[in-house]
Structure 1
Amino acid sequence: MELLTLFIVALVAVEHIGIAILEMFVSPDKQAEAFDMPLDFVKQKNAQVALSNQGIYNGMLGVLILAMILFFTGAVLKTILILLMIYIIVVAVFGAVTATKKILFLQGLPALIALVLVMIFY
């Protein structure tokens, strides 16, 4: 179960890297659809800058999670993963309240599942 737990955590990391790609490099049409935003808004330069900024945070969070899996083990890794999954859950709740409720399910739920698995099986 420990290996499965780390696999699920790695999927959360890959998801955040994918979100970063969506926020930074995909066309405004797809961004507007993905984030439930008006296309006119997403096409604005300031919105593109904000999405790119948000994207680098998501991407680096994904890279950080993967790096933690590679470089740490045992109780240290468990503590780090618990903190990172709680961080993602808190951010997802904030996003659900301020942007769109689907963030809670797309980002928060996988992190919650990973958190429970880490706490029980790692």
Structure 2
Amino acid sequence: MQIFTLILAALIGLEHLGIMALEIFAGPKSQAKAFDMPLNFVKLPNAKIALGNQGIYNGALGLLILSSLFIFSGTALTTLLKLLMLFIMIVALYGGFTATKKIFGLQFLPATIVFILLWL
């Protein structure tokens, strides 16, 4: 597997840790701007809980991607990364159509590029 593909996969893992940080730790103004949501909605208690829950999932996904780069190698790593990129692509498609179009460029496109590179 090419080192370039592994670096891109690591960047996607870091991106998901960044998304986690926004969802869990950022203030309402930053969250509203980042996720194209109304500020008054982001301040609601249930929205805070939902964002925190999403943050846990994004953090787990980021850590899984990053840790897999150190734990696995060869075919096992390639297969795991393909599955993780496919998962991100599916979730990003849903988010792009239901939440904000920015997700297509920020999550779907990078995961798709790595997914394709993993098949080459």
Structure 1 unmatched ranges of 5 or more? none
Distance in structure 2 (CA, Å) of the matches to 1:106 and 1:3: 21
| Deviation, structure 1 residue 114 | 1.0
Distance in structure 1 (CA, Å) of the matches to 2:13 and 2:69: 10
> Are 2:35 and 1:3 equivalent residues in the alignment?
no
The equivalent of 2:74 in structure 1 is 74
Distance in structure 2 (CA, Å) of the matches to 1:34 and 1:20: 12
Correspondences of 1:1-122 after superposition (within 5 Å): 2-120=2-120
| Deviation, structure 1 residue 67 | 1.0
* Aligned-residue RMSD, C-alpha: 0.9
SS in 2 for 1:67: helix
Distance in structure 2 (CA, Å) of the matches to 1:39 and 1:18: 20
| Deviation, structure 1 residue 14 | 0.2
TM-score (ref. length: structure 1): 0.96
| Deviation, structure 1 residue 117 | 1.4
Distance in structure 2 (CA, Å) of the matches to 1:99 and 1:30: 16
Q: Which amino acid aligns with 1:22?
A: L
| Deviation, structure 1 residue 118 | 1.5
| Deviation, structure 1 residue 38 | 0.4
Structure 2 unmatched ranges of 5 or more? none
Distance in structure 2 (CA, Å) of the matches to 1:104 and 1:95: 8
Task: Please give the per-residue CA displacement for 1:90-113, whole angstroms capped at 9, x wherever unaligned.
Answer: 000000111111111111111111
Task: Please give the per-residue CA displacement for 1:43-73, whole angstroms capped at 9, x wherever unaligned.
Answer: 0111001000000100110000111111011
Find runs of 4+ consecutive structure 1 residues off by over 3 angstroms. none
Distance in structure 1 (CA, Å) of the matches to 2:63 and 2:12: 11
Distance in structure 1 (CA, Å) of the matches to 2:92 and 2:13: 14
